[in-house]
Amino acid sequence: MDHQRDRVPLSEIVGRDALARQAWQMLAEKSIVLTAERRMGKTYLLYKLQGEAAVQQQNWVQGWLCLYQDLSGCSSPLEFVQSVFDTAQELLGLRRKAAEETRRFLSRFQELKVGPIQLPKSAIPEWKGILRSIFADLSTQLPDDRVVFLWDEFPVMLDKITEQEGGERIAGEILNLLHTLRAEYPRVRMILTGSVGLHHILNKLRQSGFNNPVNNDMDVLSVTPFEPEIAIDFARSQLESKAIPCQDLAATAKIIAQEVDNIPFYINGLVKRFRYHPQDRPLTIDVDIIRQEVRALLVDADNTWHMAHYLDRIKNYYGDIDSELVRLILDTIAAEEQAIATKDIIKIIQNTSQSPIPDQTIRDLLKLLEQDHYLTKDSIDLKYRFRYSLIRRYWQCQRG
């Protein structure tokens, strides 16, 4: 399909079969909030879904029509609606259909020509009506298909909107309207994802009094690291394709995958590191050298691994009052070799801190840190540890 251009082809997307299957199953019932730590592979999963849907279409298998959009460039409801409209029109055009209802709606305040339409400023107050008509068009014009919007960087867009005058109200209105549209047009679904957690935007809106349960009708799907075998295969193929000399390819691939918690972005980064330093490249790559390289990358001042956000965003996510406490909690957990129980964390924090801190404050922050993928809580012994050892090591490198 045409909007496949510029995207990563299916052949370059490794693994994720189980996740994609799960996404399709969930979509049959509901829309999805796709969550994960940064750089985990959310966008790649969206590309995979889009690629799989396109293959089905080519084979005349009835399935989903995917509309991928990167919304990071949108900072107003009109820009959002324009982008949705352009994408929807392109899809309808491919099916020799037109966005009739939307065009009718727009003709009220604009003379329409054939082809793309630039929404005028006068359409700003009507953005809700326009979005509603687009959903209506997709539903009525494509009665035999199901459509799913893949909205990447949706929270970034909302965040940009909230930063403007009266923006929090508008962001709330977008969320409300999408909630309504999901109920009214069940054959049009959406996957919301992005590099910022949606729950942070919702928390921010909650602080300004917006309390509607706007995503209680959606399922949550988490993108996790690769399964170990897939990570090892991936590391191996990266080593091979970049012609990195290893004495024992299989063993090297295994250690690389392990050392970066089976996360494809870091596997890629580590292998590249061996490639881009040919003059100091060791002849045999062993565990020590791999660990040394990981460490070098973790302390890397120019932030090759895009990990600075684990430190930088704390102030933004948790606010001035809680940031110091959050850092203290993470320092405490990073210092422990083993997972640690809530009551022990509370004890250490209360002993370390100068001012009294209520238990509940610490418990609430632990919960948020879990949602933000810093921590994970064991479902049996209920102890906390860093979700990824790589992030723990990063934290130690930066704060130790």
Per CB under 6 A, residues contacting ligand ATP are 13-16, 36, 38-44, 195, 264-265, 268
Region binding Mg ion by CB under 5 A among candidate stretches 34-42, 239-247, 266-274, 275-283: 34-42
Pairing of strands 340-341, 383-386: antiparallel
Our finding on whether 35 is near Mg ion (CB under 5 A) is no
CB 371, min distance to ligand ATP, A: 15
CB 44, min distance to ligand ATP, A: 3
In the bound state with ligand ATP, the residue whose beta carbon lies nearer, of 40 and 330, is 40
Please give the residue whose beta carbon sits closest to ligand ATP in the complex.
41
Cα–Cα–Cα angle for 144, 146, 150, nearest 5°?
155
CB 223, min distance to Mg ion, A: 10
386 binds, among Mg ion, ligand ATP, none (CB under 5 to 8 A by kind): none
Residue type, 381: D
Distance of alpha carbon 388 from alpha carbon 204, whole angstroms: 27
Smallest CA-to-CA distance from 192 within 316, 56, 45 is with 45
In the bound state with ligand ATP, the residue whose beta carbon lies nearer, of 14 and 161, is 14
83 binds, among ligand ATP, Mg ion, none (CB under 5 to 8 A by kind): none
Distance of alpha carbon 62 from alpha carbon 186, whole angstroms: 17
CB 151, min distance to Mg ion, A: 11
Distance of alpha carbon 382 from alpha carbon 354, whole angstroms: 27
DSSP string, 101-151: HHHHHHTTTS---SS--PPPGGGGGGHHHHHHHHHHHHHHH-TT-EEEEEE
Distance of alpha carbon 395 from alpha carbon 38, whole angstroms: 15
CB 78, min distance to Mg ion, A: 24
In the bound state with ligand ATP, the residue whose beta carbon lies nearer, of 104 and 306, is 306
Our finding on whether 43 is near Mg ion (CB under 5 A) is yes
**Which residues contact Mg ion by CB under 5 A?**
42-43
